[in-house]
Structure formats: structure tokens, C-alpha cells
Amino acid sequence: MTDPVKTIGEALVDGLKARDVTCVFGIPGVHTVELYRGLAASGLRHVTPRHEQGAGFMADGYARVSGKPGVAFVITGP
């Protein structure tokens, strides 16, 4: 039997999980749509900030407090 083909988003999210990522911060957009498709069934927690800078600050704070990687999915912005 062959394994089902994974999307690039699913493969990227699997890579994040392999690196002990449990939470990501970000804003869905045209540049991150594949990541979000992979995120949907991954079990990773997602937090939506108001803007890209907030995602970066949230990911940084999360990493400092938890000791786990802080991940931000951002778009190009205005």
C-alpha cells in the first residue's frame, strides 16, 4: 500500500511538530494559505493577533516563557 500524498502545508506542519512546536501565532493570508491548510487537522494551537508585529511579539514571549519554539505565520502586510 502506498502512503497518501501530503500537501506542502501538511509536511511543513509535521516538521514543526517534530521540533516540539505546540502553538503558532499568525494571520491567514495569501502567502500562508498552505500552512493554514496543513494546520487545520494538526492539533497545533493557533492564536490570531491583530497584526504581524503582534504575532512576532507573541511568538517571542511564548518562547521565552515556555522554552519551546515561538512560531509566527505572517503575511507581507500593507
* CATH number, position 61: 3.40.50.970
As averages over each run of 10 residues, the pLDDT of the chain (78 residues) reads 82 95 93 90 93 94 96 83
Tell me, yes or no, whether 78 lies in a domain. no
Gap between the Cα atoms of 77 and 43, Å rounded? 27
Note the pLDDT of residue 14: 94
Structural domain harbouring 46: 8-73
Q: Could you tell me the pTM of the whole model? A: 0.85
CA angle 8, 9, 10 (to 5 degrees): 90
Tell me, yes or no, whether 42 lies in a domain. yes
Q: How many structural domains are present in the chain?
A: 1
Note the pLDDT of residue 44: 95
Note the pLDDT of residue 1: 61
Tell me, yes or no, whether 53 lies in a domain. yes
Residues whose CB is less than 8 angstroms from the CB of residue 67 and which lie 6 or more positions away in sequence, other chains included: none
Note the pLDDT of residue 41: 87
